[in-house]
Amino acid sequence: MSNLLLKNATLADGSAVDIEISGEKISQVATAGFLKSEAKTQIDCSGLIALPGFVDLHTHLREPGFEQSETVYTGTASAALGGYTAVHAMANTSPVADTAGVVEQVKALGDEAGFVQVYPIGAVTVGLNGTQMAELGAMAKSKANVRVFSDDGKCVHDPVIMRRALEYVKAFDGVIAQHAQEPRLTEGAQMNEGQVSADLGLAGWPAVAEESIIARDALLAEHVGSRLHVCHLSTKGSVEIVRWAKARGIQVTAEVTPHHLLLTEELARTYDAKYKVNPPLRTQEDVEALREALVDGTIDIIATDHAPHPIETKDCEWAAAAFGMVGLETAASVAQLVLIESGKSNWQRLAEVMSLNPAKIAGDSGHGEAIAIGAFANLALIDPKAKRNITSQTASKSVNNPYAGLEMPGAVVHTVFKGRLTVTDGKLVSGGSR
């Protein structure tokens, strides 16, 4: 017997359907009004867009070690409210996720919370120190089945280690997700290098620090014949390099964050550290280039880089503040603004960049699937006509929200994870035991 019926939902192609869910999978999809079901729970989804549940390839859940910022429970609760059914947890925890034991712990915490599927990302190097390769094979063979590896927060700056890592993950179709930042070029950097940094007297972060690493690593990936994923693209030049690499046939994919699609360096003039982020907010020209690249396919996905911090590390002078922003509950709204409200793309492209493509890059079985009979029931249902006044408060433990005070389009009304409602009517449904 079916457990859930979603009536009168609109798919990305504009068709109105009823979606019946039995257990963890979709059991029927039929033209709206024609499906007869005895489902225990039936929800009228008139006016809502039904999309495959979102997948975030770049999330910082902070646990273990930094529970004052976030826990797996609070981070995944925030993710569910944002329409996510899977998130990938970066390795910069304490201890670092550089062993099978730590990645298995993170996976177990995600399973316990029960809001989304948590996929641990394994560190490329021991302790993120960039000098010795971590236990990539052991993490890949562990219960966590790690396929994405990254030293995010730090760049794998040594080209020899980067080459060896690319060679190693090729054996099990893994991918290296690189935080493109040449460390010597960004020593002491506080924001984008340009006129605004000069006006404010803050140390600048040049675009070439990002672009030079992307170019190097694209060539290494070509040489090795392995897969490279570029984290949080932020400059026009980076877009051009990725476009060149793809034209050359190199196996490279790229992500952009919501904040780099919307916000610019001008916000640094407020000296409000909620706008301090790594890589930094760039120019309007960069924003426009990133938007264009997202539409034309040069950039493959949107990833949040959700980076929660305690208030004391943000409510302070700019130079002393931590880098990072939260963003799980607003990502879909930014995507709608950039792709739909602008008239430049459509809901199918939003589904691709928020769900289908990240799941494909990471090899997330059961996620990023088309809404069809037999697919896992991982769904996000969005009210496209809703308007939200964003506040700093979310389900996250942290309040470093750069969108606070803005009105954003769209709202996630329901989230379904493995056939179970984790969010209904915009409210969180209890996940696991914590």
C-alpha radius of gyration, the chain, whole number:
21
Instruction: Tell me how far CA of residue 414 lies from CA of 58, 117, 200, 353, 375, in angstroms.
Output: 22, 17, 44, 20, 18
Could you tell me which residue, 7 or 431, shows the higher pLDDT? Answer: 7
Residue 434 pLDDT > 60, yes or no?
no
Residue 286 pLDDT > 60, yes or no?
yes
Name the pTM for this structure: 0.97
C-alpha span between 241 and 425 (Å, rounded) = 43
Round the average pLDDT of the chain to a whole number and report it: 96
What is the average per-residue pLDDT within 164-185?
Answer: 97
Residue 249 pLDDT > 90, yes or no?
yes
Residues with a known catalytic role: 305
Cis omega before residue 120 (within 30°)? no
- Side-chain half-sphere CA neighbours of 181 within 13 A: 23
Residue 326 pLDDT > 70, yes or no?
yes
Strand bridging mode 204-205 / 148-149: unpaired
Q: What is the pLDDT of residue 431?
A: 55
Q: What is the pLDDT of residues 58-86, one digit of tens each?
A: 999 999 999 999 999 999 999 999 999 99
Q: What is the pLDDT of residue 1?
A: 55
Q: What is the pLDDT of residues 378-417, one digit of tens each?
A: 999 999 999 999 999 999 999 999 999 999 999 999 999 9
C-alpha span between 112 and 134 (Å, rounded) = 26
Q: What is the pLDDT of residues 27-46, one digit of tens each?
A: 999 999 888 888 889 999 99
- Give the residue extent of every domain in the chain: 4-50+374-394+403-428, 53-362
Which fold does the domain 4-50+374-394+403-428 belong to in CATH?
Urease, subunit C; domain 1 (2.30.40)
What is the average per-residue pLDDT within 170-188?
Answer: 97
Q: What is the pLDDT of residues 181-224, one digit of tens each?
A: 999 999 999 999 999 999 999 999 999 999 999 999 999 999 99
Q: What is the pLDDT of residue 432?
A: 46
Q: What percent of the chain has pLDDT over 70?
A: 99
User: Which of 35-44, 103-112, 226-235 is predicted with the least confidence, judged by mean pLDDT?
Assistant: 35-44
Which fold does the domain 53-362 belong to in CATH?
TIM Barrel (3.20.20)
Q: What is the pLDDT of residue 145?
A: 97
- Do 4-50+374-394+403-428 and 53-362 have matching folds? no
Question: Which structure tokens are listed for 141?
Answer: 């063979």
Indicate the helix (H) or strand (E) that contains 17: strand 16-22
